[in-house]
Chain A
Amino acid sequence: MADVKLTNVKKVYANQVEVMRDINLDIKQGEFIVFVGPSGCGKSTLLRMISGLEEISGGTLEIDGQVVNDIPPSLRGIAMVFQSYALYPHMTVYDNMAFSLQIAKVAKDDIDQQVRKAAEMLQLTPYLDRLPKALSGGQRQRVAIGRAIVRRPKVFLFDEPLSNLDAALRVATRMEIANLKESMPDSTMIYVTHDQVEAMTLADRIVLLSAGNIEQVGSPLALYERPENVFVAKFIGAPAMNIIPCTVQSTGDHTEVSLSSGQAVTLPIKTASSEQGKPAHFGVRPEHLDIAGDGDAAILEGEVSFIESLGEATLLYIAVPGMDDMVIAKQIGTIPTQRGDKVRLVANPERLHLFDENEQSYRTE
């Protein structure tokens, strides 16, 4: 049992700025949780509060059913992997991994056994006598992970562990972490990143944060398909979802809105009659916009003002009369459309999103 439970957790720094507000979160044993959000939103702060490196200003933190607000990091049964690896530069790989056990005065033989086991698991055995500076970035990262494993923690904490690696290594190490999780199904892992790809690929559940608040908690697909608000909608997916101001025309089981460009669109989303006439936000992902065939009823019309060909896909930047921002449409492969062409766009109504004037989704489930 290594659940982690946060109840109304708050963080106020000495300068009186409240950087975390009333965080409530229930993390089950064995889950892989990813905190994601733009830089500065408080991901690290939250993680460090769980680790005990940062004091909790309000609320309670329970690990394994025990309130640990005042317990020092070393006694919380956690291990942390830092972005900069934080290896002790003057100690060999072996000593780095053995350090926590030595501090805890574990018998020499046990230390040796555990360090070697972890090294074996991470393919570090040949490097045990090296100093960190004689290792590559990926190897250092593995030592940092090994150092965590050796402590046999209930909860693993990772703070942007891949940010210092180059792109290729990042993918490889990401897979290693996924494997690691698989080999330790009982350990809870909390992983911080600002990279949504990492979040989508690793997480059982994603916690999306912004400016000290939790915006949404859910599985990666849930966040993609049913974003609860505009922030989540725009954060998940690249290029970001097109958000177009609109007004609610008619309500009911289906809702009709008129976009700022003038077009009327009907969505299979239920709204209350009180919403009639209110401003709202219409959302559609670029990859869900298709070029209309003749006779289809287009939801958007405009002129292509810019084209980016990526090979596997083509991005069309479309200026729609009456709208400030350009609409982006992502088409598979290469297409014959040219700059200056007039295009008409259609979309599957099931893939459309609608948010109220407070940017909250109208979808209820």
Chain B
Amino acid sequence: MVISKKGSALTAVVHLTVLFLVVMWTIPTAGLFISSIRDKDQLSTSGWWTALSTSEQRLVERAASPESQTQENGLWVIRGNVLGDSEGEVTRFGSSSLKPEDFAAGETAELRRGIRLQVMANGDYEISSETEMQGRRGQRIFYTAEVPPRFTLDNYREVLGAEGLGKSFINSLTVTIPATIIPILIAAFAAYALAWMKFPGRGLLIAAVVGLLVVPLQMSLIPLLKSYNVIGEFFGVGAKTYVGIWLAHTGFGLPLAIYLLRNYIAGLPGEIIESARVDGASDFDIFRKIILPLSFPALASFAIFQFLWVWNDLLIAMVFLGNNEDQLVMTGQLRELLGSRGGNWEILTASAFITIIIPLCVFFGLQRYLVRGLLAGSVK
């Protein structure tokens, strides 16, 4: 284009601005991802952007119990390391929660009755006493340590193992796949009829589809819920079934599907369809052998749309599916975690990332089709 030649200063500004905006738009997601692979202790005490730097943390560790004491040079001694296996450097320590930083590493703290505590910078501690120590529980040691960054997949392991996320993943798939394919089939036939078949009331139907395009689906929830109760009772299966939610998603997705596909199919060259008609093909033949293969880009694009929409949906799943583990989908699971375990950041971040990873893959893999479909619907 002409304008871009207008000088490198302007170009530099454009580059910088776009870079800035891109950073703005990716930072939130990046933050989630980084948080989800951080150690859970670090996660809740420091911002994710500090993940790569050493962080100072206040921690507590219980020393080994007095049962493990040994006698050395007339003193009773308990030894160990507060840091355990992890790396880090202890800077200060203390023996009570009121005074967690009273002593620098290497100093010796006088505890009660002639018991002394010494913590070294590398985390080694030594509790010594002139008399035998009593009790079953170990002494609590408060310390402040410089902890180097730690990345771990533990959060994912934990979430996938215990939090029912695996199950809800399957639930989500069970909802999503048919709820993507069924509306495509139904909409493609309807779109072909609306684009290329002649029958009375066609204009009216098209207008109706366009009108229904904007009906807020919240409108439908109450009446549908009532109908579902009645129908479910009639069949003795309850109101909340997978078939029910497939059809609900089909219903809510249909207007957009018909609209997009009709626009696309009506744009196919009429002479090809007429040629097929002269060749003796019936409407059903034409649909199967000409329209379907030629509309592949539009079908793919709607499929992606519907997939993302169904996978990401929370509202319809909350209304038409139950909360039990056989029916809870991933978004629902995430919402439960958000409510019940809002403080457990490690679980929340890992779960959230697992929920968005599938749509992100679909998105990046098939972006080309998605864009094409969007354009078929809006730019004329």
> CB–CB under 8 A between A and B in the complex?
yes
Q: Which residues of A contact B (CB under 8 A)?
A: 51-53, 72-75, 78-80, 82-84, 86-90, 99-100, 103-104, 147, 151
Using Cβ atoms and an 8 Å threshold, which residues of chain A touch B272?
86-89
Task: Tell me whether A73 and B269 are in contact (CB under 8 A).
Answer: no
Interface pairs A-B: 9 shortest CB-CB:
A74-B280, A100-B279, A86-B271, A86-B275, A82-B271, A90-B293, A73-B278, A103-B280, A86-B272
Q: B338 contacts the other chain (Cβ, under 8 Å)? A: no
Decide yes or no whether B281 CB sits under 8 A from chain A.
yes
Closest Cβ of chain B: how far from A75's Cβ, in Å?
Answer: 8
Instruction: Chain B residues near A86: list those with CB within 8 A.
Output: 269, 271-272, 274-275
Chain B hits for A75, CB < 8 A: 280
**CB pair A80 B294 closer than 8 Å:** no
Specify which of B274, B277, B285, B294 is in contact with A90 (CB 8 Å cutoff). B294
Interface centre among B275, B276, B277 (most CB of A within 10 A): B275
B290 within 8 A of A: yes
Given contacts A88-B276, A88-B290, A90-B294, contact A103 B271 (CB under 8 A): no
Inter-subunit contact B278/A78 (CB<8 Å): yes
Residues in A whose Cβ lies below 8 Å from that of B290: 88
A83/B279 contact (C-beta < 8 A), A90-B293, A90-B294 known: no
Please give the distance in Å from A82's CB to the nearest CB on chain B: 4
- The interface residues of chain A lying within 8 Å CB-to-CB of B276 are 88, 99
Q: How far does the Cβ of A237 sit from chain B's closest Cβ, in whole Å?
A: 32
- B245-301 interface (Cβ within 8 A of A): 269, 271-272, 274-281, 285, 289-290, 293-294
| A54-B277 Cα distance, complex, nearest whole Å | 12
B275 touches A80 (CB 8 A): yes
Secondary structure dominating the interface of B: helix
Residue interface mask B159-182, A partner, CB < 8 A = 1: 000000000000000000000000
A51-B280 in contact (CB<8A): no
What CA separation (Å) do A147 and B269 show in the bound complex? 18
Complex Cα–Cα for A82 and B276 (A) = 12
A-B contact count (CB 8 A): 55
* Nearest CB of chain A from residue B244's CB, rounded to whole Å: 37
Residue of B277, B278, B281, B289 with highest tally of chain A CB at under 10 A: B278
Cβ 8 A contact of A79, one of B271, B278, B289, B293: B278
Q: Which residues of B contact A (CB under 8 A)?
A: 269, 271-272, 274-281, 285, 289-290, 293-294
List residues of chain A with CB within 8 A of the CB of B281. 74, 99, 103
Asked if residues B280 and A89 are in contact (CB atoms below 8 Å), the reply is: no
Task: Check A74 against B279 for contact (C-beta < 8 Å).
Answer: yes
Q: Report the bound CA distance from A89 to B297 in whole Å.
A: 14
Specify which of B269, B277, B294 is in contact with A53 (CB 8 Å cutoff): B277
**B289 partner residues in chain A, CB cutoff 8 A:** 99
Give CA–CA (A100, B277) in the complex, Å.
9
B277 touches A73 (CB 8 A): yes
C-alpha spacing A86/B289, complex, angstroms: 14
16 contacts between A and B (CB under 8 A): A73-B280, A74-B280, A75-B280, A79-B278, A80-B278, A82-B274, A82-B275, A84-B269, A88-B276, A90-B294, A99-B276, A99-B289, A100-B278, A103-B279, A103-B281, A147-B279
> Contacts of B274 on A, CB cut-off 8 Å?
53, 80, 82, 86
Of B277, B280, B289, B290, most A-chain CB atoms within 10 Å: B280
Q: Is the CB of B285 within 8 A of A103?
A: yes
Inter-chain contacts of A90 with B (CB < 8 A): 293-294
Verify A74–B278 contact, CB threshold 8 A: yes
**Cα distance A147–B279 in the bound complex, in angstroms:** 9
Shortest Cβ distance from B199 into chain A, in angstroms? Answer: 13
Q: Could you say which residues of chain B place their CB within 8 Å of the CB of A88?
A: 272, 275-276, 290
Q: Which of A74, A89, A151 contacts B277 (CB 8 A)?
A: A74
Q: Which residues of B contact A147 (CB under 8 A)?
A: 275, 279
Q: Select which of B278, B279, B285, B294 is within 8 A of A89 by beta carbon.
A: B294
CA distance A103 to B288 in the complex (A): 12
- Give the residue of A53, A83, A104 whose beta carbon is less than 8 angstroms from that of B280: A104
Closest to A105 in B: B280
Q: Could you tell me the distance between the alpha carbons of A52 and B277 in the complex, rounded to whole angstroms?
A: 10
The answer to whether B279 touches A53 (Cβ under 8 A) is: no
A52 partner residues in chain B, CB cutoff 8 A: 278
A72 vs B277: C-alpha distance when bound (angstroms): 9
Shortest distance from the beta carbon of A337 to any chain B beta carbon, whole Å: 49
Which B residue sits closest to A79, measured CB to CB?
Answer: B278
**Interchain CA distance A364-B274 in the complex, whole Å:** 43
Assembled-state Cα–Cα distance A89/B273 (Å): 12
How far in angstroms is the closest Cβ of chain A from B293?
Answer: 4
Q: Across the two chains, which residue of chain A brings its CB closest to B281?
A: A103
Distance from A143 Cβ to chain B, minimum over Cβ atoms (Å): 11
Which of chain B's residues have a CB closer than 8 A to the CB of A87?
Answer: 272
What residues of chain B lie closer than 8 Å to A82, measured between beta carbons? 271, 274-275
The complex places the Cα of A74 from the Cα of B278 at a distance, in Å, of 5
List B contacts of A73 (CB < 8 A): 277-278, 280
Q: Is the CB of B271 within 8 A of A84?
A: yes
Cα of A258 to Cα of B279 in the assembled complex, Å = 59
- Shortest Cβ distance from B269 into A: residue: A84
With both chains docked as a complex, state the minimum distance between the C-beta of A4 and any C-beta of chain B, in angstroms. Answer: 16
Nearest CB in chain A: distance from B347 CB, A: 49
Contact A51/B278 with A82-B271, A86-B272 known, Cβ cut-off 8 Å: yes
Q: Name which of B271, B279, B294 has the most chain A CB atoms within 10 A of its CB.
A: B279
Contact A83 B278 (CB under 8 A): no
CB-nearest residue of chain B relative to A51? B278
Chain B residue contacts of A151, Cβ below 8 A: 279
Chain A residues, Cβ within 8 Å of B285 = 103
A73-B280, A88-B272, A90-B294 known; 14 new pairs, CB 8 Å cut-off, are A51-B278, A52-B278, A53-B278, A74-B280, A74-B281, A75-B280, A80-B275, A83-B271, A89-B294, A99-B276, A100-B278, A103-B280, A147-B279, A151-B279
CA distance A88 to B293 in the complex (A): 10
* Closest chain B CB from A283 CB (angstroms): 39
Cβ of B269: which chain A residues have Cβ within 8 Å of it? 84, 86
On chain A, the residues within 8 Å of B271 by CB distance are 82-84, 86
**CB-defined contacts of B280 to chain A, threshold 8 Å:** 73-75, 100, 103-104
| Of listed A52, A103, A151, residue having the most chain B CB within 10 A | A103
